[in-house]
Amino acid sequence: MEYMLVYPGRTKPVTSRRWEAVREGIEDYRILAALRQRLAGDGGPTLPDTARVCIKHLLEVSLPEMLDKSYAEMTRGLGRSVIDASNNDATIGAFRRELMGCVEAAAK
């Protein structure tokens, strides 16, 4: 069963938790793409070494660890409760804190 992303409200549409998750995923992707571009040297100011290390770790270690685990769980046919247990709010929150730490390091 598919649920709506946006529900009709009395005066304006009401977003669902599902829509908010999609929106956050899009924002995360845009930030990751910008960090990857910055790491590649987009012609902007030189990236500090601490930022370079932070971004490389995020892209080469943290992101693959999170995605590979989820992918493995889905391909094994594990139930939604197992997948939700491994990619829970704490896991996603830790990833986003590291993501924003890289943004702050790149902005210096």
In a domain, 87, yes or no: yes
**Range of the structural domain that residue 60 is part of:** 6-107
pLDDT in tens, 10-42: 999 999 988 898 899 999 999 999 999 999 987
Domain count, the chain: 1
pLDDT in tens, 61-98: 999 988 888 777 777 776 666 666 677 888 899 999 99
C-alpha distances in Å from residue 33, one per residue of 26, 30, 40, 103, 104: 11, 5, 11, 12, 15
In a domain, 88, yes or no: yes
In a domain, 1, yes or no: no
In a domain, 65, yes or no: yes
Which alpha helices (H) appear in 1-108, and where do they start and end?
17-40, 49-57, 63-75, 80-86, 89-107
In a domain, 50, yes or no: yes
C-alpha distances in Å from residue 31, one per residue of 4, 23, 51, 59: 26, 13, 14, 11
* pTM confidence score: 0.80
